[in-house]
Amino acid sequence: MIYTYIPYSSKSKPGNLGWAYRNFMEIVPNDDDWVCFLDHDATFTTPGWYSQLENIIEKHPEYGAFTCMMNRVGQKYHIPIGIDKDNHDIKYHRAIGKQLADSYYDHVTSLNDVNGQYLSGVLILIQKKSWKVIGGCPDGFLGVDNEIHRRCVMNGIGVGRMDGVYLYHWYRADGDDHVRKAMNIHPHALGRK
């Protein structure tokens, strides 16, 4: 089973994405289950995304965590070549999603050699048993995804990018300064105490 969750921290834990991840993972019943954490400003672009995730998980048991391709993100190796990052027409992005799904449906690129190329927190697909092995994630907002990736690699858990799964991500298209806002609401937003 894959549980899809858009994490958001409560008023008592403002800006603490790590807490939101941990809180949700506690209610996932089985170690063999998976959680797909999805940013609140992201969306899948193909109708068959859920079964595609199931098929990728089944075909690639060497991985315990995944991320995907997307249009706007800090890590450029998650962005397909030639994407117009300023195009916010969902029809445009659905066509890209279909093209990538048709071409790379269950292809996975290893991100096990971190070397500065971390999974993106826009989508984190992780198995509960992997989560338990890595000891979850720290408090904070920025860098929590990098720490999940680092802990997976340090514990021998494969991390991969699903090349045929493409998300539309709004990501600061309105000039929103989310780093400053995160620091204002949560002093440990960068995962440091």
Q: Tell me, what's the pLDDT at 171?
A: 59
Structure tokens at 139: 């408090």
Domains in the chain: ranges and CATH? 2-185 (3.90.550.10)
190: confidence class by pLDDT, cuts 50, 70, 90: very low
Say which residue, 136 or 15, is predicted with more confidence: 136
pLDDT at 61 over 90: yes
pTM recorded for the entire structure: 0.87
Strongest mean pLDDT among 85-89, 127-131, 169-173: 127-131
Average per-residue pLDDT in the chain?
87
